[in-house]
Amino acid sequence: MTLKERLDAYERLMRLDKPIGILLLLWPALWGLWLAKYGFPDPDILLIFIIGVILMRSAGCVINDYADRDLDPHVERTRNRPLAARLIKPGEALALAAALLLLALVLVLLLNALAVMLSFIALALAVIYPFLKRFFVFPQAWLGIAFGFSIPMAYAAQTGNVPAVAWVMLIANMFWAIAYDTEYAMVDRDDDVKLGLKSSAILLGRYDVAGVMVAQGVFLAIMVVVGYWRNLGILYFLGLAFAAALIVDQYLLINDRDRERCFKAFLNNNWVGLAIFVGLALDLHFRIRFFF
């Protein structure tokens, strides 16, 4: 294998060629940072979180593929992943994951003590998740907590404490992740059943579409509560309304349970996260500009 081919394999192992996972992890972090500051966050903290999200998501993908290296060859969507295709050795993957986690640790040590403490919980959540689908029937809930843990970390880094609203937003993110990762799991359901794996798509069965919509509805409802709680304005709620319209489109995509359309619905959640962030950021910007 040439150097270029090896670097390409590492890139695909970290899923840098498919940034959707990074974005779904990034949006909750940005929500938390902007709300914690009630405006534009400290630039150094913002940069640490952006780089940290990329490093942690990349490490999580490597650990996930290491855990699934003997399962992925039997799944249509994952059989060409570098570890499944034996392009990279398991030891190399572990070394890469360790290097990424070490870099993330160096970054987080630049934050305050509370954020550092919470980062170890976030690390445990991320490392445990890839192994859950072997025995836990609802791994998507764990994923939601892991992906949303950047919210209390953002509050901790920005303010030195974690108020109740941060934990409520974490719960909201858990429901959002249940929704979008169920759409993702619907793509692999037939293969997962054959391999004896667990997922919300398998657990919900013929109620999968309803389950996704209920989870999205709870997510939006909690975000509405957060908006009133934090005294946010019309631009934030317009962002939520746009997100709701995108979720209606997801229903139309997944209703026939076609694999490609379910995957398209999963990808659509990036725009949901973006819509909420844009509404939040604009709302806080104009409030600060006009009232202070």
> What share of the chain in percent tops pLDDT 70?
97
Determine contact, residues 92/9, Cβ cutoff 8 Å.
Answer: no
Pure H helices in 84-207? 90-108, 113-132, 139-148, 150-159, 164-195, 200-204
Please report which helix (H) or strand (E) contains residue 28, including its range: helix 20-37
Q: Where are the domains of the chain?
A: 3-287
- Predicted confidence at residue 33, as pLDDT, reads 97
- Predicted confidence at residue 71, as pLDDT, reads 79
* Summary mean pLDDT of the chain: 90
Comparing 34 with 187, the larger pLDDT belongs to 34
In terms of C-beta distances under 8 Å and separation of at least 24 residues, what long-range contacts does 229-236 make, across chains too?
229/165, 229/168, 230/35, 230/38, 230/165, 232/280, 232/283, 232/284, 233/283, 233/286, 233/287, 234/283, 235/279, 235/282, 235/283, 235/286, 236/279, 236/280, 236/283
Task: Average the pLDDT over 207-233 and give the result.
Answer: 95
CATH of domain 3-287: 1.10.357.140
- 115-141 pLDDT, tens digit per residue, is 999 999 999 998 888 887 777 777 888
Helix count and strand count (H, E) for the chain:
12, 0
Comparing 135 with 96, the larger pLDDT belongs to 96
Cα–Cα distance between 180 and 199 in angstroms, integer? 12
Instruction: Please report which confidence band the pLDDT of residue 262 belongs to, taking 50, 70 and 90 as the band edges.
Output: very high
pTM, two decimal places = 0.92
Virtual torsion, Cα 172, 176, 177, 178, nearest 10 deg:
100
Question: Does residue 42 surpass a pLDDT of 80?
Answer: yes
Task: Average the pLDDT over 41-49 and give the result.
Answer: 96
- Predicted confidence at residue 292, as pLDDT, reads 46
12-21, 77-86, 239-248: least confidently modelled range: 77-86
- Predicted confidence at residue 289, as pLDDT, reads 55
